[in-house]
Amino acid sequence: MFDWFQLAQQKESRMIQVRRYLHQYPELSFEEHHTHDYIVNQLSQLSCDIRTPVGRNGIVATFKGRGDGPTIALRADFDALPIDELTNVDYKSKNPGVMHACGHDGHTAILLGVAEIIEQHLSSLNGNVVLIFQYGEEIMPGGSQEMIDDNCLKDVDKVYGNHLWSGYPTGMIYSRPGAMMASPDEFNITIRGKGGHGAKPHETIDPIVIMAEFIMSAQKIVSRTIDPVKQAVISFGMVQAGSADNIIPDTAFCKGTVRTFDTEVQSHVMTKMEKLLQGLAVANDITYTFDYIKGYLPVHNHPNNYEIVKQAANDMNLRFHKSELMMIGEDFAHYLKVRPGAFFLTGCGNPEKDTMHPHHSPNFNIDEKAMKYATCEFLKILELESVIDRATS
C-alpha cells in the first residue's frame, strides 16, 4: 500500500510555497479573481479536466480513473477576510485590509498537494476524484450552494472537507458523527418610539429602555424555553441609539446572531423573538422591524463517512479525537445536504510557533506542518473509499 504520509511529506515544501504565495495576495469573498487564476494555472499543468467558472467563481478539477470505482469529491475554500494583518511573517499580506485569517490559503495548498500526488499515481485510480475549489465561504449566502446549483456534485457519490484549526494541536484529526457545527443566523432589529428631551421622559416613548427590555428577555428564550439537552445561542453584537446625553432618540437598533443545530430549535427561537417584539409593541406603542436571515445549514456528518475519517486518521497514526460541538458555521454543510460525506478538522495550533491565535484574529497563523497531515488524511480517505486500487499500491 502507498505510504501516504511519506508522499505528503515529500510535497510539504511545495505546499508551504503555495500557501505563502496565496497568503501574500488574499482576496475577499466573491472577489477572488487573482486567486482563481492562480489555482487554474496550477491545475492546468496536471492531467485533470478543469471546469470553471462553476457558480460565480469556483473551480472543479476531475481526475478520471480507469475502473468502475466511486467518485469522491474533496473540497477546499480560498477566500480571505477584511482584516489588517498584524503578524510579522515574511509572507505577510500585501493587500491592505485583507488577510487569510482563517486558513483558507492552507486549505487550497493542501488540495493542490493532493492533486499533484494523484497525478503521480493516475494508474492506480480505480474511480474518479473531484476536487472542488470554492469561493466565498466567509460571507453568506456562501459559494457552496451556487456551485451545487451549477452541478459541482454531479455524478459525485460522497464528499469530504477539511478545516485547519488553531484551537487543536498540530497533527491531530477531529470530527464527530451527526451534528458538528451550527447554523449561523443573523438578525437586525429596529425599535421606533418617540424621542424627546431627557428631562421629560413621560412625553416620550423611550426606544432604548424598550430595547434593553427586549435584550434581557431574549436571554430567557434559551434558558427557559428550550430543552437543556439541546443547544442554542443568542448573542447581541451591536446596539446603537442616541446622539447626546440629554436626548431620548426616536429609534434604537441592534443586531446579533443565533446559533442552532436543528431547524426546529431555529424556528422556535425566531418565533419567540418575534412574539417578544409583538408584546413590547402592544405594551409600549412602538413599531419595529425584525429581519431574520437564516445562515448556512448546520454541518451534519453522515455516520458511515465519519467512520471513514476516523479510520483514515487511525491508520495514519494521526491521533484521532472526537471533536466538541462547535457553534461556528461552515457552508460545507450544503454539500452534505446533497451527498453523504463528512467534515473534519486538522489541528494547526503550536505555541512554539505562535499559531494558537483564534481564527479571524489579525495575529492568526498556522503551523504549516499541519498541511501534510491533512493531505495524507485526504489520500487515505480516497484509498478507504476504493477510489485508489490497493492492489496496485
Residue 209 has pLDDT above 80, yes or no: yes
Tell me what the pLDDT averaged over the chain comes to.
97
> What confidence score (pLDDT) does residue 288 get?
98
> What confidence score (pLDDT) does residue 127 get?
96
> What confidence score (pLDDT) does residue 157 get?
98
Catalytic pick among 77, 79, 146, 157: 79
In terms of residue numbers, what domain contains 20? 4-180+298-392
Are the beta carbons of 30 and 113 closer than 8 angstroms? no
* 22 and 56 inside one domain: yes
> What confidence score (pLDDT) does residue 66 get?
86
> What's 204's domain CATH number?
3.30.70.360
Asked about 137 being catalytic, the answer comes back as: yes
Q: Binding site for Mn(2+), residues?
A: 102, 104, 138, 163, 360
Sign of the four-CA dihedral 365, 231, 288, 249: negative
Q: Binding site, residues?
A: 102, 104, 138, 163, 360
- Give the model's confidence band at 355: pLDDT under 50 very low, under 70 low, under 90 confident, else very high: very high
Domain count, the chain: 2
> What confidence score (pLDDT) does residue 392 get?
55
Catalytic pick among 105, 137, 206, 331: 137
Specify which residues 196 forms β-bridges with. Answer: 248
* 285 and 370 inside one domain: no
95-121 per-position pLDDT tens digit: 999 999 999 999 999 999 999 999 999
- Decide the pairing of beta strands 128-134 and 71-77: parallel
The mean pLDDT value for 206-218 works out to 98
Asked about 79 being catalytic, the answer comes back as: yes
The mean pLDDT value for 264-283 works out to 98
DSSP 248-304: E-SEEEEEEEEEESSHHHHHHHHHHHHHHHHHHHHHHT-EEEEEEE--SPPEEE-HH
> What confidence score (pLDDT) does residue 248 get?
98
The mean pLDDT value for 250-271 works out to 97
> What confidence score (pLDDT) does residue 67 get?
82
* 278 and 303 inside one domain: no
140-166 per-position pLDDT tens digit: 999 999 999 999 999 999 999 999 999
Please tell me whether the overall predicted TM-score, pTM, comes out greater than 0.85 for this model: yes
Q: Which of 371, 390, 391, 384 is nearest to 116 (CA)?
A: 371
Lowest-pLDDT range, 128-137, 172-181, 382-391?
Answer: 382-391
Share of the chain above pLDDT 70, in %: 99
Angle at the Cα of 269 from the Cα atoms of 267 and 270, rounded to 5 degrees: 65
The mean pLDDT value for 313-337 works out to 96
* 33 and 116 inside one domain: yes
- Give the model's confidence band at 278: pLDDT under 50 very low, under 70 low, under 90 confident, else very high: very high
* 216 and 285 inside one domain: yes
Residue that terminates a domain, selected from 247, 268, 293: 293
Q: Which of 157, 128, 110 is nearest to 63 (CA)?
A: 128
Cell of 374: 491533512
Helices marked H in 68-122 — which ranges? 104-120
Residue 332 has pLDDT above 90, yes or no: yes
Residue 358 has pLDDT above 70, yes or no: yes
Give the three-class secondary structure for 142: coil
Residue showing cell 456534485: 153
> What's 310's domain CATH number?
3.40.630.10
16-61 per-position pLDDT tens digit: 999 999 999 999 999 999 999 999 999 999 999 999 999 999 999 9
* 39 and 102 inside one domain: yes
> What confidence score (pLDDT) does residue 391 get?
60
Residue 261 has pLDDT above 90, yes or no: yes
Residue that terminates a domain, selected from 241, 270, 293: 293
Residue that terminates a domain, selected from 245, 268, 293: 293
* 276 and 362 inside one domain: no
190/136 Cα distance (integer angstroms): 29
How many Cβ atoms from other residues are within 10 Å of residue 328's Cβ? 15
* 253 and 340 inside one domain: no
251/193 Cα distance (integer angstroms): 6
